C-alpha cells in the first residue's frame, strides 16, 4: 500500500498533463447535459442539478468531483403555452398514455451552464462552460436539437507537494502546470417519447506552441473527447417503464469505454437502475422525486478492475431542483 499512493499520484499527474479526460459521472444518464450541450432547455422549466462524487473511497488522494448544471428554455410558445405535449397538473410523463398523446415540442432555444471541478492527488481540473441549444420538431413525435458550448478549462498541479531531485525542472514549476485554456464543444440530440440518441464532442480546440531545437512546433495540450449514446423506453404496464441505454466514449491515446445502463421507473415517484462500464465498474442507482420541486438520486460503484482490492467503492449523490415548474411535473418529460 505504501507504494500505491505515489504510483497513483504519478498516474494522476500524467493524466492531468496529457490525457485530460473530462471527469466521469455515473449519473450522466439522468443529466446528459454534462456530456452534450444540445440538452440545454429540453424541458419547459429551469433544471438545476448539484452533484458530488467520491471515487475510490478509502484510497488516499483519490478523485473527488463536484459539479453543477443549470439550463432553461427560451420561447413563449414552448414555456408558457400549453402546446408542449401534456395537459397540466397530475400528468405522468412516464406513463404509456402520455407517450400515446405526445406531440413534438415547439421550436425554441435553450441556454445553460455546466461547471465541474475534480481533484485527484495533487492535480485539480476545473471546467466551466456556457451551453446553447436550438430545438425543433422534425415530425409529430420526433425532435432534434443542436447544441454548442464554450468556456474554459483550468489544470493546476500543487507543485509544493512534489519532492524531486531536480527542483529546477520546469515540469515542476507552477507557471508550467497552472494554465487556463479555452474549451469548445458541440452536440446533436434526437428524441421522442420512446427513444433518444445523441452524439457530442468536447475539448475541440487545444494546441500550444513550443520551441524545440530552435523551431516552433504545435502540439495539443488536450485531446478531443467524443460521445455517442442512445436509449429506448419499454412499458411493462401503464405506469412502469424499463429504459435500457448505452454510451460509447472515445478520446485519443486511450481505449474506448462502453457503458450499459438499465433503469426501471414507477410513475413520477421513484426509480432504480444498474450500470456497467467495461474494464472498470458495476453500479447500483436509485432515486425519488419529492412533489414537483426536488429529486434526489444516489449511485454506488464497485470496481471490477485491479483497483477493487484497494478501495471501498465510489459514491455519487445528485440533488435536482425544478424551478419555474409551471405544469407541476415531478419528473422530466423529455429526458429519461
Query: Is 90 exceeded by the pLDDT of residue 310?
Result: no
pLDDT classification of 203: cutoffs 50, 70, 90: confident
Largest Cα separation within the chain, whole Å, is 71
- Of 8, 29, 23, 15, the residue nearest 262 (C-alpha): 29
Calculate mean pLDDT across residues 199-216.
68
pLDDT classification of 35: cutoffs 50, 70, 90: very high
Calculate mean pLDDT across residues 14-36.
74
**Residue 248 vs residue 58, higher pLDDT:** 248
Query: Is 60 exceeded by the pLDDT of residue 1?
Result: no
Q: What angle do CA 109, 115, 120 make, to 5 degrees?
A: 150
Residue ranges of domains in the chain, CATH in brackets: 28-158+177-323 (2.40.160.40)
Q: H or E stretch including 153?
A: strand 143-157
Rounded-to-integer distance, Cα 67 and Cα 324, Å: 22
User: Which pLDDT does position 184 carry in this prediction?
Assistant: 94
- The CB-side HSE value for 19 (13 A sphere, CA atoms) comes to 15
Residue 159: how many other CB atoms lie within 10 Å: 17
Q: What is the pLDDT of residues 49-103, one digit of tens each?
A: 999 999 888 787 788 999 999 999 987 666 555 434 444 444 555 566 666 666 6
User: Which pLDDT does position 255 carry in this prediction?
Assistant: 82
Calculate mean pLDDT across residues 159-168.
61
User: Which pLDDT does position 306 carry in this prediction?
Assistant: 73
**130 neighbors 151 (Cβ within 8 angstroms):** yes
- Of 115, 106, 149, the residue nearest 334 (C-alpha): 106
Calculate mean pLDDT across residues 119-127.
87
Phi, psi of 193 (to 5 degrees): -70, -15
Rounded-to-integer distance, Cα 216 and Cα 26, Å: 41
pLDDT classification of 15: cutoffs 50, 70, 90: very low
Amino acid at each position: 500500500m505504501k507504494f500505491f499512493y505515489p504510483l497513483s499520484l504519478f498516474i494522476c499527474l500524467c493524466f492531468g498533463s496529457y490525457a485530460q479526460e473530462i471527469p466521469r459521472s455515473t449519473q450522466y444518464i439522468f443529466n446528459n447535459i454534462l456530456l452534450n450541450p444540445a440538452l440545454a432547455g429540453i424541458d419547459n422549466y429551469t433544471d438545476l442539478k448539484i452533484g458530488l462524487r467520491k471515487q475510490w473511497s478509502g484510497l488516499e488522494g483519490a478523485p473527488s468531483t463536484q459539479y453543477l448544471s443549470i439550463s432553461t428554455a427560451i420561447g413563449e410558445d414552448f414555456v408558457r403555452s400549453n402546446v408542449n405535449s401534456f395537459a397540466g397538473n397530475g400528468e405522468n410523463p412516464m406513463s404509456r398514455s402520455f407517450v400515446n398523446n405526445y406531440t413534438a415540442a415547439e421550436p425554441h432555444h435553450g441556454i445553460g451552464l455546466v461547471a465541474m471541478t475534480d481533484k485527484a492527488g495533487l492535480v485539480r481540473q476545473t471546467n466551466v462552460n456556457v451551453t446553447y441549444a436550438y430545438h425543433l420538431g422534425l415530425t409529430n413525435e420526433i425532435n432534434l436539437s443542436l447544441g454548442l458550448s464554450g468556456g474554459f478549462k483550468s489544470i493546476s498541479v500543487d507543485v509544493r507537494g512534489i519532492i524531486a531531485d531536480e527542483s529546477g525542472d520546469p515540469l515542476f514549476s507552477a507557471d508550467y502546470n497552472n494554465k487556463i485554456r479555452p474549451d469548445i464543444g458541440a452536440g446533436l440530440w434526437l428524441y421522442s417519447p420512446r427513444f433518444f440518441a445523441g452524439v457530442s464532442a468536447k475539448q475541440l480546440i487545444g494546441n500550444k506552441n513550443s520551441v524545440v531545437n530552435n523551431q516552433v512546433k504545435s502540439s495539443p495540450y488536450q485531446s478531443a473527447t467524443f460521445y455517442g449514446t442512445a436509449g429506448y423506453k419499454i412499458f411493462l404496464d401503464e405506469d412502469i417503464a424499463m429504459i435500457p441505454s448505452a454510451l460509447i466514449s472515445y478520446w485519443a491515446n486511450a481505449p474506448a469505454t462502453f457503458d450499459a445502463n438499465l433503469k426501471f421507473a414507477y410513475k413520477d415517484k421513484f426509480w432504480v437502475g444498474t450500470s456497467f462500464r467495461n474494464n472498470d465498474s458495476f453500479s447500483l442507482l436509485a432515486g425519488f422525486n419529492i412533489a414537483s420541486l426536488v429529486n434526489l438520486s444516489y449511485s454506488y460503484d464497485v470496481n471490477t478492475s485491479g483497483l477493487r482490492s484497494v478501495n471501498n467503492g465510489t459514491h455519487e449523490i445528485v440533488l435536482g431542483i425544478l424551478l419555474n415548474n409551471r405544469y407541476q411535473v415531478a419528473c422530466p418529460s423529455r429526458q429519461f
